[in-house]
Every structure is written in structure tokens, then in C-alpha cells.
């Protein structure tokens, strides 16, 4: 997943340009058309979500049937108090766990890139295990710990869980950024008399900041979206995904699609701005 | 990927700072590593411990080394285990087949619009997993926008439905994990040195051979990572089965969730989770041996 945050490699000239004299007429449209189709398939649920946020059906439940266009759910997006509370919980958990996971993950990335030490490959292995273990096992294990010690489940346990699954993602993302780092800049700073602390804040941090930011954004996104691990460790507390999942059986109120659409719009806008800014710099 | 070793700059400062250098990586790792130790590694031991306990939610559970929990778990839920592996396998195969041509085209022919295509590929991840799955429920519903319309035009019999079938669940899983397959594939295809492909074209000249002998083998690390990143979460997933499936499509994830959070049969649920984890781990290692152990981390 962290792949997404890496920089897009430079463009490479298209190969397989049809050789002169070789005839390939309609067949060369197969792959582009196919790509287009898959793209439509990928975005179709998003379109459905946006579409149904405008469906003119009841306040209690969006019907599968299309009952006409209305924008009246948008001003009433916070009219479901428990849904709003769940969204608020999600935001709190995401904010707190992102701050903790980003700082811890960045420190690990620094250690892994900068130093050779005993236990380095073990640390690597733990990170890999953490990312590749099925979520349900992570959730169930942590719940076993909490059950054994009688820890009541709530927002703190959700935050503990989210930090746990986010550290490795942050580390991987920041490490990718650190790998191309010029050590000589730091050495120059030290030669000029800067202490390690000053060197870090004045030289290292500004350079790796984009990587840290990418890691933090990823952590925030993963946290706000997480369902499985949260479901195991939330107790009776609701987060946005948990609330939506619980509402599936009884009926989804239009506010869910409105919130989904708004969150999507903010996220997509941020991403587009980021890409455009990077392009401008380049 | 290694950076240079720490330079000798500090040696002049003497012993104390050398000790500091020794300790530095451990100090850096301490907070995050401690967190992972406490809330990731140690809990796995507790999972194992709970899986060997007996008792009930009212009187409490005791560790009695009751290995029979595992026998019980397998006997009772063999069907769901097999079904989960089957669904995960089919869904992984589908995503691989669907995304390979796609990633290939973006990597080799994407040209100026590569970034745009990658962005589109990632777009679903901006919508919550649960809502994405829910949207498929709306698409596939009996009277939803697609089936409803087709039925109105009499292109489909009235009794036709997709929801609550294994097709719906597998399609949902395949949809949700497609980006995790397509991205590593794209990365591995993008990395292929174009001059190698050129050389192969000059030597083999046949497109099919160039693909089979050069491009495909060089993209194997991407296939490896993609399959791993799709199969593992797919096998443990229960959201798709819960939202798109019915009573006959229950997966092992649904059972673990039910036993843990609704029935409070902690030992059975823990045993099931442990079997799932151990099975997948063994699978991953065998699979890594077969396909070569190139580092996966760089794709994750």
C-alpha cells in the first residue's frame, strides 16, 4: 500500500511501438479499452455512493430503488447524533494514533537506515510480519490480551490497536524516503559546529519531512478506515466504519453516503493538490 | 538499500560518544519496538494461551492446556475453513488475471498519463472499505440500479439474484483487494529495464516470446507480492461475506468474529484464529521458497 506514496518513476518511452510495415489495426485498441473498462469498474462503487447520497428516499433508510434526485441530505448530514458521535470518535482515534505511530515509526526508520546493529533483521522481520498478518488475527490476539487482564475496551484500546498496526506502515514509508538521503549534508552541519540536536531539526528533519508527512497521511487514512481490528477492540464504542457496518442489517440512512462522499471529496482533493504541487516543483 | 556506516566523525570525541553510537539504534527503536512487542508479539502468546483454556464467560476461563479445542474447532468449522481458502484462492486468481494486463499497459504504455491512471487505481481507497462493499450491495441488489433495470426490460428473469451467492462474495473480495495486486505488479513491470526488452525483441522478435521469456519472469517479484497482499487479507476477511453474502457463504472470519464477540466462546475463537495464522504463515513460507525469497518488503 505504501507504494502509492512513493514518487512516480520518471516517464519511460513507450516500447512495443508497432514496427513500420507491420499491420496491427483494431487489436492495438484492446488493451487501452480494457484498461478503461477496469477503471470504470474500479470507480463504479464510488459513483454509486455519490449517486445514492442524492437519492430522494426516507430519512431512516436509503432504498435500493432510485426515487429521484434531492440534495436535501447534505445540510442534514449531522442530523443522526449517534452517527455523528461515531465519526467524531473515528477522527479522535485517527488523530491521536497518527501522531504516536508517526513519531515511533519514523524513529524506527531512522534506526534501520542509519545503523547496522544486532537485531536489525529481526526488527525487519517483525515489521514484515505485522504488515502481512491477517487483520483478524491481529485483532483477536490483542483482544485476548485485554480479556486476560480484564482491560475494559473503549477509545484507549482502539488507539492502542491503531498505533500497533500503523507503526510498520509509517516505518516503510519513511524508510523509502530516507534511502536517498545525502549524509554529507548532516556532516557539513556538524563540521560547522552544529550539535546532533540542531543538526536533526535544522537539516535532517526538513529533508525527510515529506516522507514523514506521507507516512502520517497513510496512517490517518488506514486508521479512519479500519474496521476489523477496531471491531475486536472497541467494546461498545462506535467508530464510523463500525456504525455503518452495524446499520447494514437495519438500513443505511442517507447521511452515511453523504459523509462518505464528503470524506472522499476531501481526500481526493488533498491527493490531487499534492500531485499538482509536486509536478510544479519538478 | 544500505546506507553508509556511521562515519568516523565521532570517534575523536572519545569513548562516551562511541557508546552512544552503539546504543543509538536501540534507543530509536525502543518506543515503537516496545509498542509492537507489547501489543503485537506478546498478544499472539495470549491468543495461544486463550485457545487452550476452558470455561465460560460467567465463571471465567482457566488455562487447562485443553488441546481438544483445536480438534473441536476444526471439526465444527472445517467447511468454513475450506470455503475461505477457496474464495481467497479464486478471488486472488481473478485479481491477478484482471490486473496484470492493466498494470502492464500502465507501466509500458501509460506515457504521460501514468500518474492519472495510478491515481484512478487508488481512488477506491479514498472511500471506506465498509462503504465500498455496501455500494456493491446497492449495485447488486435485486431491485437496485443494475438488476432492477435489467429486470424491468425483461432481460433477466424476475427471480434472478446475485446477492447472497458465493459469486457476490468473491466478486466483492476481488474488487476490494484489486489495488493491492495491481500496484506491486505495476512497480515490478515499471522497473524492467527497457533495453532488456529491446534486446529481446531483436533476438526473439516474436511478441509472445518476448513476453513469456523476458517480461513475465522479470515481473515475478510483483506477482509474488501481489498474491501475498491479496490472498492473506482475503482469507481472513469477513466484511464481504457479511454484507454481500448469505447463510451459505459464511467464511472463517465471520465465525471467529461471531464466536469472539457475540457468543463469547473465547477459546474456540482463539483456536480458530491461531489455526488461520499458522496455516497462512506456513503457506507463506512454502510459497516464498517456491517462488524465490526476493525481499517482499520493498513492495509492501
Hey, are the CB atoms on A167 and B32 less than 8 Å from each other? Answer: yes
The backbone torsions φ and ψ at residue B246, rounded to the nearest 5 degrees and listed phi first, read: -130, -160
- Tell me if A214 sits within 8 A of A23, measured CB to CB: no
Name which of B9, B36, B253 to mutate to probe chain A: the one with the most chain A Cβ atoms within 10 A of its Cβ: B36
For residues B140 and B18, state if they share a domain: no
% of chain A beyond a pLDDT of 70:
90
Q: What does the pLDDT look like over A157-215, one tens digit per residue?
A: 999 999 999 999 999 999 988 877 777 888 888 888 888 888 888 888 888 888 899 89
Hey, are the CB atoms on B105 and A108 less than 8 Å from each other? Answer: no
By Cβ distance, the residue of B4, B126, B256 closest to A136 is B256
Task: Tell whether B65 is within 8 A of chain A (Cβ).
Answer: no
Q: How many CB pairs under 8 A join A and B?
A: 306
The answer on pLDDT for A7 being more than 60 is: no
pLDDT of residue A3: 42
Residue owning grid cell 524465490: B292
The ranges assigned to domains in chain A are 25-79+256-282, 81-252
Instruction: Please tell me the distance from the alpha carbon of residue B271 to that of residue B47, in angstroms, as a whole number.
Output: 8
Hey, are the CB atoms on B276 and A103 less than 8 Å from each other? Answer: no
Name which of A41, A127, A137, A279 to mutate to probe chain B: the one with the most chain B Cβ atoms within 10 A of its Cβ: A137
Hey, are the CB atoms on A160 and B266 less than 8 Å from each other? Answer: no
CATH number of the domain that residue B83 is part of: 1.10.3720.10
- Tell me if A202 sits within 8 A of A189, measured CB to CB: yes
Q: Which residues contact B37 (CB under 8 A, 6 or more apart)?
A: none
Instruction: Please tell me the distance from the alpha carbon of residue A16 to that of residue A28, in angstroms, as a whole number.
Output: 11
For residues B122 and B20, state if they share a domain: no
**Residue B287 is assigned to a structural domain of this protein:** yes
pLDDT of residue B299: 46
3-state secondary structure chain B: CCCCCCCHHHHHHCHHHHHHHHHHHHHHHHHHHHHHHHHHHHHHHHHHHHHCEEEECCCEEEECCCCHHHHHHHHHHHHHHHHHHHHHHHHHHHHHHHHHHHHHHHHHHCHHHHHHHHHHHHHHHHCCHHHHHHHHHHHHCCCCHHHHHHHHCCCCCCCCCCCCCHHHHHHHHHHHHHHHHHHHHHHHHHHCCHHHHHHHHHHHCCHHHHHHHHHHHHCHHHHHHHHHHHHHHHHHCCHHHHHHCCHHHCCHHHHHHHHHHHCCCHHHHHHHHHHHHHHHHHHHHHHHHHHCCCCCHHHC
Q: Which residues of B touch A105 (CB under 8 A)?
A: 32
Q: Which pLDDT band, with edges at 50, 70 and 90, does A279 fall under?
A: confident
**Residue B59 is assigned to a structural domain of this protein:** no
pLDDT of residue A82: 93
pLDDT of residue A194: 85
Reported ipTM: 0.84
Hey, are the CB atoms on B207 and A39 less than 8 Å from each other? Answer: no
Task: Tell whether A276 is within 8 A of chain B (Cβ).
Answer: no
Task: Tell whether A280 is within 8 A of chain B (Cβ).
Answer: no
Name which of B134, B180, B244, B250 to mutate to probe chain A: the one with the most chain A Cβ atoms within 10 A of its Cβ: B134
DSSP state of A75: T
> What is the reported pTM?
0.85
Task: Tell whether B139 is within 8 A of chain A (Cβ).
Answer: yes
Closest residue on chain B to A131 (Cα): B300
**Tens of pLDDT along chain B (300 residues)?**
444 444 444 444 455 567 777 888 999 999 999 999 999 999 999 999 999 998 888 888 888 888 999 999 999 999 999 999 999 999 999 999 999 999 999 999 888 888 888 888 888 988 999 999 999 998 888 877 788 888 888 888 877 888 889 999 999 999 999 999 999 999 999 989 889 988 988 887 788 888 988 899 889 889 988 998 899 999 999 999 999 998 899 999 999 999 999 999 999 999 999 999 999 988 888 887 777 655 544 444
Could you give the C-alpha distances from A130 to A38, A46, A161, B129, B208, in angstroms and in order? 31, 30, 12, 20, 39
**Residue B62 is assigned to a structural domain of this protein:** no
Q: Which residues of A touch B129 (CB under 8 A)?
A: 225, 227, 241
Third-level CATH fold of A81-252: MetI-like fold (1.10.3720)
Task: Tell whether B108 is within 8 A of chain A (Cβ).
Answer: yes
Question: Residue B57: how many CB atoms within 10 A of its CB?
Answer: 11
Name which of A1, A2, A3, A258 to mutate to probe chain B: the one with the most chain B Cβ atoms within 10 A of its Cβ: A3
Q: Which pLDDT band, with edges at 50, 70 and 90, does A271 fall under?
A: confident
For residues B31 and B162, state if they share a domain: no
By Cβ distance, the residue of A43, A144, A172 closest to B123 is A43
By Cβ distance, the residue of B36, B136, B253 closest to A167 is B36
Q: Which pLDDT band, with edges at 50, 70 and 90, does A90 fall under?
A: very high
User: Whole domain around residue B187: which residue ranges?
Assistant: 79-299
pLDDT of residue B15: 54
Number of domains in chain B: 2
Q: Which residues of B touch A271 (CB under 8 A)?
A: 119, 122, 126
DSSP state of A28: G
Amino acid at each position: 500500500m505504501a507504494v502509492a506514496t512513493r514518487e512516480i518513476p520518471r516517464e519511460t518511452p513507450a516500447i512495443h511501438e508497432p514496427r513500420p510495415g507491420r499491420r496491427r489495426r483494431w487489436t492495438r485498441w484492446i488493451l487501452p479499452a480494457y484498461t478503461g473498462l477496469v477503471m470504470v469498474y474500479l470507480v463504479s462503487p464510488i459513483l454509486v455512493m455519490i449517486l445514492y447520497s442524492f437519492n430522494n428516499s426516507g430519512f431512516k433508510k436509503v432504498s435500493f430503488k432510485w426515487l429521484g434526485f434531492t440534495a436535501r441530505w447534505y445540510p442534514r448530514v449531522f442530523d443522526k447524533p449517534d452517527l455523528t458521535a461515531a465519526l467524531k470518535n473515528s477522527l479522535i482515534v485517527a488523530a491521536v494514533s497518527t501522531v504516536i505511530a508517526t513519531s515511533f515509526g519514523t524513529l524506527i526508520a531512522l534506526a534501520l537506515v542509519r545503523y547496522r546493529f544486532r537485531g536489525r533483521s529481526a526488527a525487519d522481520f517483525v515489521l514484515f510480519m505485522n504488515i502481512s498478518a491477517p487483520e483478524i488475527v491481529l485483532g483477536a490476539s490483542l483482544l485476548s490480551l485485554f480479556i486476560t487482564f480484564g482491560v475494559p475496551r473503549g477509545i484507549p484500546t482502539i488507539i492502542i490497536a491503531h498505533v500497533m498496526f500503523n507503526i510498520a506502515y509509517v516505518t516503510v514509508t519513511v524508510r523509502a524516503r530516507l534511502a536517498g538521503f545525502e549524509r554529507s549534508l548532516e556532516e557539513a552541519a556538524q563540521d560547522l559546529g552544529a550539535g546532533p540536536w540542531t543538526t536533526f531539526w535544522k537539516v535532517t528533519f526538513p529533508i525527510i519531512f515529506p516522507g514523514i508527512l506521507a507516512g502520517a497521511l497513510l496512517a490517518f487514512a488506514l486508521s479512519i478506515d479500519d474496521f476489523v481490528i477496531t471491531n475486536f477492540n472497541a467494546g461498545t464504542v462506535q467508530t464510523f466504519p463500525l456504525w455503518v457496518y452495524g446499520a447494514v442489517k437495519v438500513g443505511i440512512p442517507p447521511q452515511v453516503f453523504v459523509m462518505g462522499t464528503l470524506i472522499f471529496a476531501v481526500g481526493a482533493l488533498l491527493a490531487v493538490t499534492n500531485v499538482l504541487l509536486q509536478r510544479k516543483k519538478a | 538499500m544500505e546506507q553508509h556506516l556511521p562515519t568516523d566523525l565521532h570517534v575523536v570525541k572519545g569513548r562516551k560518544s562511541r557508546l552512544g553510537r552503539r546504543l543509538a539504534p536501540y534507543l530509536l527503536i525502543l518506543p515503537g519496538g516496545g509498542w509492537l512487542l507489547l501489543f503485537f508479539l506478546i498478544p499472539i502468546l495470549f491468543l495461544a494461551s486463550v485457545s487452550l483454556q476452558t470455561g465460560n464467560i460467567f465463571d471465567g476461563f482457566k488455562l487447562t492446556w485443553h488441546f481438544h479445542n483445536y480438534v473441536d474447532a476444526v471439526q465444527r468449522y472445517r467447511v468454513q475453513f475450506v470455503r475461505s481458502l477457496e474464495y481467497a484462492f479464486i478471488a486472488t486468481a481473478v485479481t491477478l488475471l484482471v490486473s496484470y494486463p492493466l498494470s502492464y499497459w500502465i507501466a509500458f504504455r501509460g506515457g504521460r498519463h501514468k500518474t492519472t491512471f495510478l491515481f484512478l487505481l487508488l481512488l477506491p481507497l479514498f472511500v471506506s472499505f465498509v462503504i465500498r462493499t455496501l455500494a456493491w450491495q446497492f449495485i447488486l441488489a435485486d431491485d437496485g440500479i443494475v438488476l432492477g433495470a435489467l429486470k424491468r426490460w425483461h432481460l433477466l428473469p424476475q427471480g434472478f439474484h446475485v446477492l447472497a451467492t458465493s459469486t457476490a462474495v468473491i466478486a466483492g473480495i476481488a474488487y476490494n483487494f484489486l489495488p493491492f495486486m495491481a500496484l506491486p505488479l505495476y512497480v515490478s513491470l515499471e522497473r524492467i529495464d527497457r533495453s532488456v526488452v529491446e534486446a529481446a525483441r531483436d533476438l526473439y522478435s516474436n511478441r509472445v516470446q518476448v513476453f513469456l521469456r523476458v517480461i513475465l519472469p522479470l515481473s515475478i517479484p510483483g506477482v509474488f507480492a501481489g498474491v501475498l497482499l491479496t490472498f492473506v487479507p482475503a482469507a481472513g476477511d469477513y466484511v464481504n461475506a457479511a454484507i454481500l453474502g448469505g447463510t451459505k457463504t459464511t467464511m472463517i472470519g465471520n465465525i471467529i468474529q461471531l464466536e469472539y464477540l457475540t457468543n463469547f466462546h473465547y477459546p474456540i475463537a482463539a483456536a480458530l484464529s491461531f489455526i488461520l495464522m499458522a496455516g497462512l504463515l506456513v503457506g507463506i513460507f512454502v510459497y516464498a521458497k517456491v517462488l524465490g525469497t526476493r525481499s517482499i518488503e520493498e513492495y509492501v
